[in-house]
A and B are shown apart, each in its own frame.
Chain A
Amino acid sequence: MTRTEIEEKVKAFLIDDLEIEEENIFPEAKLKEDMGIDSLDYVDIVVIVEKNFGFKIKPEEMTKVKTLSQFYDYIESKVG
């Protein structure tokens, strides 16, 4: 899966499933501060990532992911 495909899939579920405004979705966006993602949303993300990318997120690995760009990097490291 290419980086672009990853970014498009992530953007789609952020908008459709987590109802995040498109203007808040940019690579440098901080997940909590800019996109308003809270602890419950992380559960959603775990389930959605599993469905869309076929791997289980380990919670301890997500603690280091602060921005959207880092989130793309993380997924790329798992599916690339």
Chain B
Amino acid sequence: MAEKKWEGTTYGNGLMHRWLIRLLSVIDTRVIYVLAYVFAVTPTLLKPGFRYAYHFFHERLGHSVLQSLWMAYRNHCLFAQAVIDKFAMYAGRHFDIDLEGYNHFLNLAKQPDGFVQLSSHVGNYEIAGYSLVAEKKRFNALVFFGEKEEVMNNRQKLFTHANINMIPIKPDMSHLFEINSALANGETVSIPADRIWGSQKYVAVKFLGREAHLPIGPFQVVAIRGVDVLTVNVMKTGTRRYKVYVTPLPYDKTAPRAKQIEEMAGNYIKELERIVSMYPTQWYNYFDFWNQ
């Protein structure tokens, strides 16, 4: 079950982040990758996250013990790259972005109604997921309120001129009202759909052959307002290259609420399975996703 409460905070403190950004503005990211493999990834091999990654490759994807160990290590290296790439972006570095399904986004962006973009903890959504902005339609990104200040400040710098607004998740749940207002105003809202945020209610789905639970929140928000919904996944395809997959999630808006949610969740997980099958080492949910 995806019961891991979404805490979404980046490792390190403000000073480390500032120095990393300074380094990345002058040093090739590949140098930082290698340093990260030695000093950041190696210590994590003994942590629970590595065990969950190993189980993911061994039990869910059926790889041998040795293959699973290697893929879990590779997975952690890619996660380190994803974090570094995020800071490289803050430092002004650019990445080549390929797009698949961009027309789906453009079609919805043209319409006056709001819509929702669902993301997952795979790949590196922040690199390009927030780039799918429309000129006239404000883009609202749901972010973790406790995220490190430096990350939030850099996001703010990048987002301000790109018509992007951050909605931090807060204990008083005011973010839910902000999401509702944004959609009512015809804006876009980006929400991760594989972590708990605000409600313990869930919808059961079959993911990679076993039952998993997704938080009901993102789907319920879509159903409440009857808006269209897309999934957006941003996957690393090269040292400085990413590919964005934009896929519509159809659902019957006239069906009873529970059926709508079930249909959306089913289509979401089907798309996530497709992405994970193409990029298995870019799955970054380091907890017991299936509540085994």
A residues lining the B interface (CB < 8 Å): 17, 38-40, 42-44, 46-47, 59, 63
| Contact across chains for A59 and B216 when beta carbons are under 8 A apart | no
B199: Cβ under 8 A from any A Cβ: yes
Kindly state the separation between the CA atoms of A42 and B198 in the bound complex, as whole angstroms.
11
The binding surface of chain A is classed by DSSP as helix
Contact partner of A40 (CB less than 8 A), chosen from B172, B174, B199, is: B199
Q: Which residues of the partner chain B approach A42 to less than 8 Å between Cβ atoms?
A: 173, 176-177
Q: Which residues of the partner chain B approach A46 to less than 8 Å between Cβ atoms?
A: 177, 180
30 contacts between A and B (CB under 8 A): A17-B257, A38-B198, A38-B199, A38-B200, A38-B201, A39-B173, A39-B176, A39-B198, A39-B199, A40-B199, A40-B201, A40-B216, A40-B217, A40-B221, A42-B176, A43-B177, A43-B179, A43-B180, A43-B220, A43-B221, A43-B224, A44-B220, A46-B180, A47-B180, A47-B224, A59-B172, A59-B173, A59-B174, A59-B177, A63-B172
Kindly state the separation between the CA atoms of A43 and B179 in the bound complex, as whole angstroms.
9
Size range of the interface on B?
A: 10 to 19
Kindly state the separation between the CA atoms of A63 and B173 in the bound complex, as whole angstroms.
10
B225: Cβ under 8 A from any A Cβ: yes
Mask of B75-86 contacts with A, CB within 8 angstroms, 1/0: 000000000000
Kindly state the separation between the CA atoms of A38 and B173 in the bound complex, as whole angstroms.
10
Q: Which residues of the partner chain B approach A39 to less than 8 Å between Cβ atoms?
A: 173, 176, 198-199
Q: Which residues of the partner chain B approach A59 to less than 8 Å between Cβ atoms?
A: 172-174, 177
